[in-house]
Amino acid sequence: MPLATTLRLLARARGMSATEIATAIPRAGVDTVSAWMRGEKLPGKEQLDALARTLGVPAGALLAELASTLDPARTQGEHDLLNAYRAMTTRQQGALLEIARGLADQPAPRRRKAAK
């Protein structure tokens, strides 16, 4: 799950607004915290530690989320597909998986050699 989603869920679970979180984070205003929660910016290490303390979770949990957000092994298309999948209903996810499995079983189309 992206860090922004985790932050939004933790804030909601704690009943905290971006304003309340911002007051506990060094050098982070409400606009910055809101941008983190929208996934437009990423917090620095000190800010991540302060976020963890404020939200009552281990910093490692947020670091793991941050690492998955920046996973270099995934292409942008994979990140986009995963985000779209997470936005679907369970039924839609099942249908998409059936389609993907069917496509994966198909042999890749042969490419024609370019004329020289």
Supply the DSSP symbol for 12: H
> Which of 1.25.40.10, 3.10.180.10, 3.90.1640.20, 1.10.260.40 is the CATH number of 3-69?
1.10.260.40
- Determine if the pTM surpasses 0.85: no
What are the pLDDT digits (tens) for 68-112? 666 666 677 777 787 788 788 999 989 999 998 888 887 766 666
Query: Among residues 46, 75, 70, 68, which one has the least CA distance to residue 59?
Result: 46
What are the pLDDT digits (tens) for 37-72? 998 888 888 898 999 999 998 888 887 767 666 666
In the chain, domain spans: 3-69, 76-105
For the chain, give percent helix, strand, coil, nearest 5: 65, 0, 35
Instruction: Tell me which residue has tokens 């704690």.
Output: 14
Query: Among residues 60, 14, 68, which one has the least CA distance to residue 39?
Result: 68
